[in-house]
Structure 1
Amino acid sequence: MNMIIPRQEDWGDLTDLDTAYAYKIFFNKSNQEMQIAFKENIHARCYDLYYMPINVLVYYIYGLKEFIESRSSKDSLDITSAVDCLFNLFYLNSKKHLAEINDIFSEFQQLMQYIADNQLLYDADEETYGDLNITLTEINSNLEKLH
């Protein structure tokens, strides 16, 4: 994993308002610094992650992983939102940015498998969030297209 905080040029074109806002919140901040922002408003920070260029997302998705692993949120809705965000980011980007996601997926696979196998511990009921094991299988299937 690239542990270097993304530089301004990594963010590319900031004419998209959502990308520009994500830049305003995340730019020049480490994943450790972003833990506070994740805890204060996981919904908004997850929204920001969706609008990052892939090379920037590949850095900050580790901050989301850290947030989930620390379970620093007392509000179960926060952890549920974070888990949903993680699975959706990998699912969507395993279609659009196969190589970049493939490069990092092995570092997330164990956590994601645990979450999928214990979905109710994260208050991610199947009716609302779908079967996370199926989502994980689809991510793996998308990534297998590289091999």
Structure 2
Amino acid sequence: MSYPIMKKITEADWDRLIKELRYDEDVVYAKKIFWNKSDKEIMDTFESGFAFTERSEELLYMPAELFNYYYHYFPEFVIRGNYDRLDTPSVANSFIQLLEEKLEDHSFHYEGPLMLANNALDFIWDNIDRFNYAPDIYGDFLPRIKALKHSIQHYSIARH
């Protein structure tokens, strides 16, 4: 089965969505971070200290059209591993929590972002000792990863 190709997001798309959301402050702020930035600039914002938690929230509050376009940066960030060793549980938790919420509200409209999510889950799984070293704070990631992989496997892409 083939899926539609994502269209490029334009400034007009951002402005239309901001207007539809009645100038939602989260989306207005996200535009400053994501719109008209190079891949490197966006990745640098993920890799700047603990900023990945902010990027996770921005992706969470983005309308699906924007989320599907910009989501790929988060799994890429997870897999790159350019974060402090002590932040690994927080990285995994932020990523997993975003994925849980976006799967639940059926925000994924394309197969590509789901494949990237699955790859990042595999990466966390393969490095579980590194990510799962603070279960007293974040819980055990393994059951959450298993549940997410099952959800992704059975996720139905709706045409948009």
Q: Same fold (TM over 0.5)?
A: yes
Partner residue, 1:50:
60
Shift of 1:86: 1.7
What TM-score, normalized by structure 1, do the two folds share? 0.77
- Percent identity, please: 25
Structure 1 unpaired stretches of 5+ = none
AA aligned opposite 1:76: R
Residues 142 and 109 from structure 1, CA distance in 2 versus in 1: closer, same or farther, beyond 3 angstroms? closer
Q: How many pairs does the alignment contain?
A: 145
AA aligned to 2:27 is T
CA distance in 2, matches of 1:43, 1:99: 20
Partner of 2:28: 20
Q: Report the alpha carbon displacement of residue 47 of structure 1 after superposing the two structures with TM.
A: 2.2
Which blocks of at least 5 consecutive residues in structure 2 are unaligned? none
> Partners of 2:12 and 2:103 in 1: how far apart?
24
Is the CA contact 2:79–2:123 (under 8 Å) kept in the aligned structure 1? no
Contact 2:132–2:141 (8 Å) recurs in 1: no
Higher deviation after alignment, 37-46 or 96-105: 96-105
Q: Deviations over 1:77-125 (max 9, x none)?
A: 4443332222112111111125526553223313302313533312552
Q: Which residue of 2 aligns with 1:10?
A: 13
Asked if the contact 2:6/2:110 (under 8 Å) is kept, the reply is no
TM-score (norm 2): 0.72
The structure showing larger relative contact order (alpha-carbon pairs under 8 Å, at least 6 residues apart) is 2
Q: Contact 1:46–1:82 (CA<8 Å) still a contact in 2?
A: no
Q: Which has the larger radius of gyration?
A: 2
Higher helix share: 1
Q: Hey, what does 2:77 align to over in structure 1?
A: 67
Matched with 2:100 is 91
